[in-house]
Amino acid sequence: MTSVATSRTDMRPGVDGGPDRMDADGVHASANPEDYRRELTGYCYRMLGSAFEAEDAVQDTLVRAWRGRAGFDGRASLRSWLYRIATNVCLDQLNGRSRRALPMDFGTASPPVQASLGEPLPEYSWVGPIPDDRVLPEGGDPADLAVARDSIRLAFVAALQHLPPRQRAVLILRDVLRWRATEVAGLLDTTVASVNSALQRARATLADLDLADGEPSPPMNDSHRALLARYVDTFERYDIDAFVALLHEDAIQSMPPYAIWLYGPEDIGTWMLGPGIGCRDGRMLPVEVNGRPGLATYRRSGDGSGLEPFSIQVLELRGDRVSGMTVFLDTESLFPLFGLPRRLDASGSAVAGPDQPGSEAPVATETPVAEQR
């Protein structure tokens, strides 16, 4: 198994490159705390496993920074000071809390029957999705961006939740953000020896976890785009035989907030033609989520007049097949997070509403999916 954490020492310097990033004149990159919101959100998301908690933590960080600005003496960079505050906010939130997880952490695969669905678990049970544009840097080196994408994939973020909070912070700062041990020791008010010990233990824990599809993912290419176009086409036509032919033999489908997960194309196809038949005649819009291709799915409304939100799908691709589908069903909170229409008309166009400006964006077909990344 190779993970972001265990392979970073063999990679180029990360996107962030430590806390004291300078511009060409040797001046700190920005003196405005707001300019660090995106990277702080990425850090807090890896720590907390929730887009909503991460955004709350960053807002709390910026408020604390504003209130405490008189105490900032400039001996450290503004960026490292903000990370110190954000780390403390996250550690406070994690104090005494059970870890977030994915359905595969709860037991074995389920049979594809309605009774397997069970009752939904609370939101705080799950590692949730996050839009790429909330956490990934704009532009930059493609190799660095690929590393950043892998460090927010659902399986890696879920693996991080197995670590004690301070070990989690050390591993993220050292192996993902590429801070030096002395810098992390200063942030955590500890010794370099303690940082190195925590990092060693954290790496060992992650090495023992079975991170599915753990190899670093290549950038999206033409074959991936063609695969996604076929995935959308077969789903929207609800040609389940053709759909499951696109899946790896060990493909997994999970459906938070339910603990159910399905293993293999046969069971996934059985579910879609059984309890999941309500997705027939649905439509899809592309989204960029957790460094992976994703799709927002809509299904026919009860009165047949249009389409209503159903799920956010996060896909894992391996070779020329789909190996994983995490289907998040909390549309009430997730669709606004991703800026998605609350309703589509029968033709697949967004329907304007009181809290949704008019939009002419069409539903996803082969063309927009092919243009992803």
Domain stop point among 208, 240, 264? 208
Q: How far is Cα 53 from Cα 69, in angstroms, rounded to an integer?
A: 24
Determine how β-strand 292-300 pairs with β-strand 321-328. unpaired
What's CA 63's distance to the chain center, in Å?
25
Give yes or no: residues 318 and 191 share one domain: no
Give yes or no: residues 242 and 326 share one domain: yes
What pLDDT, on the 0 to 100 scale, is given for residue 286?
A: 96
Residue 326 lies in a domain: yes
CATH number for the domain spanning 8: value is 1.20.140.160
CATH number for the domain spanning 270: value is 3.10.450.50
pLDDT in tens, 235-291: 999 999 999 999 999 999 999 999 999 999 999 999 999 999 999 999 999 999 999
107 close to 259: Cβ distance less than 8 angstroms: yes
Q: What is the largest CA-CA distance in the chain?
A: 64
Give yes or no: residues 230 and 196 share one domain: no
Residue 215 lies in a domain: no
pLDDT band at 355 (very low <50, low <70, confident <90, very high): low
Give yes or no: residues 227 and 354 share one domain: yes
Q: Give me the sign of the Cα torsion angle 17, 184, 86, 68.
A: negative
- Could you identify the residue written with the tokens 């595969």? 104
> In the chain, pLDDT over 90 holds for what percent of residues?
70
Of 145, 184, 130, residue with least CA distance to 19: 184
Residue 91 lies in a domain: yes
249 close to 40: Cβ distance less than 8 angstroms: no
pLDDT in tens, 173-192: 999 999 999 999 999 999 99
- Strand, helix or coil for residue 22: strand
What pLDDT, on the 0 to 100 scale, is given for residue 172?
A: 98
Give yes or no: residues 200 and 226 share one domain: no
Residue 216 lies in a domain: no
Mean pLDDT over each residue of the chain, to the nearest integer = 86
**Helix then strand then coil, % of the chain, to nearest 5:** 45, 15, 40
Determine how β-strand 306-318 pairs with β-strand 344-345. antiparallel
Q: Where are the beta strands (DSSP E) in the chain?
A: 247-254, 261-263, 283-289, 292-300, 306-318, 321-328, 344-345
265 close to 247: Cβ distance less than 8 angstroms: yes
Residue 114 lies in a domain: no
Q: Is the pLDDT of residue 10 over 70?
A: no
Residue 123 lies in a domain: no
pLDDT in tens, 133-185: 999 988 778 888 888 999 999 999 999 999 999 999 999 999 999 999 999 99
What pLDDT, on the 0 to 100 scale, is given for residue 347?
A: 78
Average pLDDT over residues 289-298: 96
Give yes or no: residues 238 and 348 share one domain: yes
Distant-in-sequence, close-in-space partners of 303: CB < 8 Å, separation ≥ 6: none
Residue 252's DSSP bridge partners are 263, 324
Determine how β-strand 321-328 pairs with β-strand 247-254. parallel
Give yes or no: residues 145 and 247 share one domain: no
Q: How far is Cα 4 from Cα 42, in angstroms, rounded to an integer?
A: 15
**Number of domains the chain is built from:** 2
Give yes or no: residues 243 and 296 share one domain: yes
- What letter represents residue 221's amino acid? N
What pLDDT, on the 0 to 100 scale, is given for residue 370?
A: 40
For residue 274 the two structure tokens come to: 């059984």
Give yes or no: residues 46 and 163 share one domain: yes
pLDDT in tens, 21-72: 443 333 344 678 889 999 999 999 999 999 999 999 999 999 999 888 777 7
Residue 117 lies in a domain: no
Domain stop point among 176, 208, 240? 208
Give yes or no: residues 64 and 190 share one domain: yes
Residue 115 lies in a domain: no
Give yes or no: residues 193 and 227 share one domain: no
pLDDT in tens, 87-127: 999 999 999 889 999 999 989 999 999 999 999 999 999 99
- Strand, helix or coil for residue 196: helix
DSSP state of 356: B
Q: Give me the sign of the Cα torsion angle 229, 235, 236, 240.
A: positive
Give yes or no: residues 58 and 166 share one domain: yes
What pLDDT, on the 0 to 100 scale, is given for residue 354?
A: 52
51 close to 180: Cβ distance less than 8 angstroms: no
Average pLDDT over residues 299-306: 86
Cα-flanking dihedrals φ and ψ of residue 52, to 5°? -70, -45
Backbone Cα Rg of the chain: 21
Domain stop point among 208, 243, 267? 208
The domain containing residue 321 runs over which residues?
222-370
Q: How far is CA 56 from CA 53, 63, 100, 270, 305, in A?
A: 5, 11, 17, 40, 37
